[in-house]
Structure 1
């Protein structure tokens, strides 16, 4: 049985159905493609959460398909910024409470605006980090958006 994380407890409080999926962690490869393979999920359903900072809005989160790259210009437009950059790795944990490879869009230390790639609307289930390495949460895209107040738009591109 997977351990309950803060993200999972928040979904419980909101009465949102989800499934915890555990997988073996390889510290040298924390990529979403590897997570998908190890957890038996199609890569189209595995979303990674990135931490960014806009020049006007400050810190924000972006959730994109695991096999895609964040389109910083598109994220800037969607979030009302002129410029957006990902934050340095050393800032991720102090800002979110999560470590690299375990950043969940649910349950960050502070509630940041979340922007989700619109491709999420084409999948039945989406999988995001449960807040620790080695554990994913699978839930409906509508429930993820409801739990986070996420806003959809095209914010990713092929690598």
Structure 2
């Protein structure tokens, strides 16, 4: 893993990683608003990383409480498995406005790191099979790479099988 990045990046996510002393890499790229790939696949392509190593951050309501699901960009979130992982009964995707207000980030740039409020977080267990995972750095066109164990530490997250192909 590369040394801790310099303070560039300018987002709460990068600031949180720096403040926690977590080793990470910063990967800026030019976001194309016209892409039809979706934010996560665009990031994987732009930074030259296998999509199975790039994870998207999804805001989900579990029994009325906002939570964070983190799954590979080439997968979808299994809502039933996600609810079960948090001991809930029903999970639905949060609406964009609620997600943006709760995190302080815009959709397409929501990072699991440095959110306004710490939310219950579940990382798909497939992340534990790779050395480095890439997640949004807190804006469109910015990803950060870090170890999955460090991602779990900085988000106070847990792991479960929550992704489906």
Distance in 1, matches of 2:71 and 2:34, equals 21
| SS class of match (2:144) | strand
- Residue 13 of structure 1 is matched in structure 2 by 19
Native 8 Å contact 1:44 1:123 kept in 2: no
Aligned length in residues: 157
- Residue 3 of structure 2 is matched in structure 1 by none
- Residue 156 of structure 1 is matched in structure 2 by 163
Distance in 2, matches of 1:37 and 1:98, equals 22
Report the CA distance between 1:28 and its aligned residue.
Answer: 3.2
Native 8 Å contact 1:115 1:152 kept in 2: yes
Alignment of 1:71-86 (within 5 A): 71-86=78-93
| SS class of match (1:119) | helix
Native 8 Å contact 1:5 1:130 kept in 2: yes
- Residue 3 of structure 1 is matched in structure 2 by 9
| SS class of match (2:112) | coil
- Residue 63 of structure 2 is matched in structure 1 by 55
Q: CA RMSD in A?
A: 1.3
Report the CA distance between 1:156 and its aligned residue.
Answer: 0.7
Report runs of 4+ in structure 1 exceeding 2 Å deviation.
1-4, 28-31
| SS class of match (1:51) | strand
Q: Which runs of 5+ in 2 are unaligned?
A: 1-5
Distance in 2, matches of 1:5 and 1:31, equals 18
Distance in 2, matches of 1:64 and 1:155, equals 7
Distance in 2, matches of 1:26 and 1:146, equals 32
- Residue 147 of structure 1 is matched in structure 2 by 154
- Residue 31 of structure 1 is matched in structure 2 by 39
Distance in 1, matches of 2:78 and 2:34, equals 25
Native 8 Å contact 1:23 1:134 kept in 2: yes
